[in-house]
Amino acid sequence: MLMFKERRPAVRTLRGWAISVLNDAEAIRECEEHGWTQDRGDPHARERAFNAARQDRPAGVSPEAAAAAIAEVLDSIGDMCPECPPEDLV
């Protein structure tokens, strides 16, 4: 039987690509209730994302620019959903 590898959806921006890489490396997650992207705070997942970004980057993007895009996304998100109540109040 002929098998096909699942094709990833086309990403139109470098930021979208970086979010996809972070998601694949499980370095980020989505709040199940509100949909906000959250940093999981896992250093191993972050390292996997940076390594993947440097090795499998979009055409025409340098390894440094790919790593910078990953870092930019990580710097722009927090580890808590802004709509969820703090855990110590629940």
Other CB atoms within 10 A of residue 25 CB: 21
Q: What 3-state class would DSSP assign to 60?
A: coil
Q: What is the pLDDT of residue 57?
A: 92
Q: What is the pLDDT of residue 85?
A: 84
Higher pLDDT, 49 or 90: 49
**Which token pair is 82?**
């802004």
Residue 88 pLDDT grade (very low, low, confident, very high; cuts 50, 70, 90): low
- Interval 40-70: pLDDT, tens: 999 999 999 999 999 999 999 999 999 999 9
Query: What are the strands, taking DSSP E only, across the chain?
Result: 28-30, 37-39
- Give pTM, 2 decimals: 0.79
**Can you spell out the DSSP letters for 18-32?**
HHHHHHHTTSEEE-T
Q: Are 17 and 52 in contact (CB under 8 A)?
A: no
